[in-house]
Amino acid sequence: MSSSPPDQPTVDDAPILHVDLDAFFASVEILDDPSLRGLPVAVGGAGERGVVASASYEARRFGVRSGMASVLARRRCPNLVILPGRFDRYEEYSRRFRDIVTDLTPTVEAIGLDELFADLRGLRRLGVRPIDAAWALRERIENELRLDCGVGLARNKLFAKLASKRSKPIVVGGRITSGAGVVWVDPVLEREWLAELPVGALWGVGPATAAKLHRLGLRWVRDLQAVDEATLAAHVGAAMAATLSAYARGDDRREVVVDRGAKSVGHDETFLRSLRTLDEVRGAVRTHASVVSRALRANRQLARTVTVVARFDDLTSVSRSQTLPFGVDDEGAIAMIGVALAETVELTQSVRLIGLYASSFVERSEHEIQMSFNVDVEPTGARESAEARSRERQIGLEGLRDAIDEVRQRFGRSSLGTLADLGEHGLHVATQRGRNAFGPEQPAPPG
């Protein structure tokens, strides 16, 4: 591994670049309000059920990390400034970030708002060296966005991402040490570099898989390098075993994919006070239907599958889905299906989260437009076409009713009404829904 010349790699040694903005949301907040500079800042939900989405390095000095429950973050850092997050602003910065990288090469794949991969192979002909390109990129991002970032260069996505992580500032013992800024993984040293990493460093290995691997005595990537795929498959499944074996060898064939279209859209909300009545659940589904429908229409998509998820107070969750023979984007239609699905969930506990998702997108054809009841989107036409529309609309409504009948038939209606037994203070809590993107807000302190 090296971070600077004379080990200048060619494009063939380092065709893949990964950039990751440092403490992105928190950094944008500090840029917009310089009085925050030097303070421990987090963006996230401040309430009892909130989590930290982004933490400034100053906050990290106190052990605050993204994904951490805000309650714990505040315990570690009582002076932590927790801001609610302004996604429009982050999206604006994210777009400018992407534009800068796209100036380098059009082959760019965004991973969330704050990181992306780029394929540098197009630079070969121009004689641009990857490390020079990486430093130039950092400089532009610094000059034009006033944001810091880490850049990784490698033969594939696996190493490029590990490298950009390695390039970043680190916090050790409450002290911030600045990073190299740009890191290149020399192909000759790849395998031994990988061998030293814990299994959890690999893409796709989270807490559950790491625990399984630990139980098998596999703690380091070098352990994975020594175990055969079939043994692995028996414990983590065929696909995961194949991926892990390949990654452990340093083998990652994933391409940089431009414009990976979304396969689902959805919306969910964790409530400050869990829902206890079916009416509250229905209300949440209807509210979500409006958001999801708007998103579908904005993306000009029609979805055939509607899914409802309920998460209970013990953090277990259940889902119900229904696939229609046609696509919908209409708020009323999505709400009707969503409510019918939600009514099949037995409310044995209070519900802390309700989610509503739409997937299985279909092409928007003339036919589908009418099926979706968006009669307004069509220009006023001949009476004949108006009649046809009306007829199609009727068919669509019938299809919807069929789908709802099917839901009820599949699950029966026995679950209805079980909620009444749940608790005494059912009704008044519905209004206490949080508005925060990262979890419900804390109620205002008295006085």
Looking at the annotation, which residues are catalytic?
A: 115
Which token pair is 278? Answer: 């079916």
Residues 112-141 touching DNA, rule: CB under 7 A, are: 112-115
The span from the CA of 93 to the CA of 144, in Å, is 10
Helix (H, G, I), strand (E, B) or coil at 37: coil
Q: Can residue 60 be called a binding residue for DNA (CB under 7 A)?
A: no
Residue 287: CB atoms within 10 Å: 16
Q: Contact between 430 and DNA (CB under 7 A)?
A: no
Of 11 and 248, nearer to DNA (C-beta) is: 248
Task: Tell me the per-residue interface mask from 247 to 276 with DNA, x by CB under 7 A, - otherwise.
Answer: ---------------xxxxxxxxx------
Among 35, 143, 177, 316, binds DNA (CB under 7 A): 316
Q: Which is nearer to DNA, 99 or 346 (CB)?
A: 346
Q: Looking at 11, 30, 53, 221, which residue binds DNA (CB under 7 A)?
A: 53
Contact between 78 and DNA by CB under 7 A: the answer reads no
Q: Which is nearer to DNA, 35 or 316 (CB)?
A: 316
Using CB under 7 A as the binding rule, whether residue 432 contacts DNA is answered as: no
Distance CA(184)–CA(240), nearest Å, equals: 27
**CB contact at 8 A, 355 and 266:** yes
Amino acid identity, residue 269?
E
User: Under 8 Å CB-to-CB from 409, ≥6 apart: which residues?
Assistant: none
Whether the Cβ atoms of residue 177 and residue 163 lie closer than 8 Å to each other: no
- Footprint (CB under 7 A) of DNA, residues 333-392: 352-353, 355, 357, 359-360
Q: What is the DSSP string of 154-213?
A: ESSHHHHHHHHHHTS-EEETTEEE---SEEE--TTTHHHHHHTSBGGGSTT--HHHHHHH
29 touches DNA (CB under 7 A): no
Question: Which member of 71, 375, 377, 420 binds DNA (CB under 7 A)?
Answer: 71
Contacts for 61 with CB less than 8 Å, ≥ 6 apart: 40, 171, 174, 175, 176
Q: Rounded distance, CA 316 to CA 342, Å? A: 16
Provide the minimum distance between the beta carbon of 12 and DNA in the complex, in angstroms, as a whole number. 26
Q: For DNA, which residue of 31, 171, 295, 397 counts as binding (CB under 7 A)? A: 295
Q: Which of 90, 159, 373, 438 binds DNA (CB under 7 A)?
A: 438
Instruction: Please give the single-letter amino acid code of residue 103.
Output: D
Q: Which CB, 34 or 207, lies closer to DNA? A: 207
Residue 161 interacts with DNA (CB under 7 A)?
Answer: yes
Choices 2-10, 92-100, 312-320, 419-427; region in contact with DNA by CB under 7 A? 312-320
Q: Interface with DNA includes 301 (CB under 7 A)?
A: no
Distances (CA, A) of 26 to 44, 46, 90, 92, 332: 9, 14, 10, 15, 38
62 binds DNA (CB under 7 A): no
Of 64 and 369, the one with the shorter C-beta distance to DNA is 64
Q: Where are the alpha helices (DSSP H) in 229-301?
A: 229-236, 238-248, 278-298
Is the Cβ–Cβ distance between 44 and 65 less than 8 Å? no
Whole-number minimum distance, CB 68 to DNA, in Å?
Answer: 5
Q: Are 440 and 49 in contact (CB under 8 A)?
A: yes
Q: Does a cis peptide bond (omega within 30 degrees of 0) precede residue 6?
A: yes
CB nearer to DNA: pick between 37 and 75 = 75
Query: Considering only residues 130, 250, 338, 439, which one is a binding residue for DNA as defined by CB under 7 A?
Result: 439
How many amino acids of this chain bind DNA (CB under 7 A)?
68
Per CB under 7 A, 331 contacts DNA? no
Q: Is 166 in the site for DNA (CB under 7 A)?
A: no
Least distance (Å) between residue 123 CB and DNA: 25
- How many alpha carbons fall within 13 Å on the CB side of residue 409? 7
123 versus 368: smaller Cβ distance to DNA: 368
34: Cβ contacts below 8 Å, ≥ 6 apart: none
Residue 93 CA to chain centroid, in angstroms?
18
The 204-243 site mask, x for binding DNA (CB under 7 A), equals xxxxxxx--------------------------xxxx---
Minimum distance from residue 309 beta carbon to DNA (Å)? 8
Cβ nearer to DNA, comparing 112 with 381: 112
Interface ranges with DNA (CB under 7 A): 45, 48-51, 53, 66-69, 71-72, 75, 111-115, 161, 202-210, 237-240, 262-270, 291, 295, 304-305, 307, 315-323, 352-353, 355, 357, 359-360, 410, 434, 436-440
